[in-house]
Amino acid sequence: MLTLTELQQQALLSLPKDDARLEIDILLARAIGKNTTFLRTWPDYQLNDEQLAQFQRELSQLQQGMPLAYILGERDFWRLSLLVNPSVLIPRPDTECVVEKVLALGQGQQWRVADLGTGSGAIALSLALEHPEWQIIATDISAESLAVAQANALKNNIHQVKFKQGSWLAPLTGLFDCIVSNPPYIANDDPHLSDLQYEPIGALVAADNGLADLRDIVRLSSDFLHKNGWLVLEHGFQQGAAVQTLLKQAGFVNIESGQDLGGNIRYSVGQKC
């Protein structure tokens, strides 16, 4: 029988990645039904057969490159705990900067907002949590994503978001004060795609060097915004200038871009005049 410490050491040798120690500890603690503090207070604890089998199964998934969030089935985002599975993109901390921007623009307002390509519901549900009085509609082309987003609304006791299936703005009716989206924006030959093999390709890749979906959303949004309404778009760190140009060409004003947590330009906004 191996102790927690022995298992930790063995697993570390088999998992050459930066956050290996943290992820192994999370899986060990989960296998024994304790929190990670227990690993330090009881280093000699020995796992029973069932616990060991679970740990080994999940460690092998990590070794194959599966993201920890898919193994655990959840990921924290904003002040929410969101269910995730391989049909949805794992929400990224950088997208919280987009949520912050929408909240700053809409401060003190009674807004109607659309979140296009909602995935797990990360953006729509975070906005709803902060503004229970806002009307929020979340769309996605993927029925599987919408099922996850709806489950996340229930899990987090959020009831005011309406979910609609369809391409970008097609399922929407009426006008909005803000349209926000984190669409696919990775080029199909981007070398980083190989690190994202477990995530749905339809959430990641867009034609035209990653700009096709951003272009469609910019082109279509103006007809769905009130005068002075805002379009807020997450994009890749090298796409700021291109997205600003798209916004200008579509007649938006007060265009600006903002940074993610790493200091990269990762979202742009424009206002309908």
Of 135, 118, 107, nearest to 80 by C-alpha is 118
For the chain, state the CA radius of gyration. Answer: 21
Reported residue count of the chain is 273
Binding region for ligand SAM (CB under 6 A): 89, 91, 95, 116-120, 122-123, 139-142, 145, 167-168, 182-184, 202-203
- Distance in Å, CB of 145 to ligand SAM, minimum: 4
- Distance in Å, CB of 181 to ligand SAM, minimum: 7
What value, to the nearest 5°, has the Cα angle with vertex 77 and ends 38 and 262?
100
CB 58 within 8 A of CB 27: yes
Closer of 163 and 168 to ligand SAM (Cβ): 168
Q: Could you say which DSSP state residue 138 is in?
A: E
Closer of 105 and 186 to ligand SAM (Cβ): 186
- Distance in Å, CB of 236 to ligand SAM, minimum: 11
Distance of CA 31 to the CA centre of its chain: 26
- Distance in Å, CB of 120 to ligand SAM, minimum: 6
d(CA 81, CA 29): 19
Closer of 15 and 103 to ligand SAM (Cβ): 103
- Distance in Å, CB of 153 to ligand SAM, minimum: 14
Closer of 55 and 185 to ligand SAM (Cβ): 185
**What are the structure tokens assigned to 92, written together?**
């990224």
Q: Which amino acid is at 188?
A: N
Closer of 7 and 240 to ligand SAM (Cβ): 240
- Distance in Å, CB of 257 to ligand SAM, minimum: 17
Closer of 2 and 207 to ligand SAM (Cβ): 207
d(CA 66, CA 57): 12
Closer of 118 and 156 to ligand SAM (Cβ): 118
Q: Could you say which DSSP state residue 118 is in?
A: -
d(CA 24, CA 238): 34
Closer of 163 and 252 to ligand SAM (Cβ): 163
- What DSSP letter does each residue of 123-151 carry, written as one string? HHHHHHHH-TTSEEEEEES-HHHHHHHHH
d(CA 222, CA 231): 8
- Distance in Å, CB of 41 to ligand SAM, minimum: 36
- Distance in Å, CB of 45 to ligand SAM, minimum: 37
d(CA 273, CA 270): 9
**What are the structure tokens assigned to 26, written together?**
């999370």
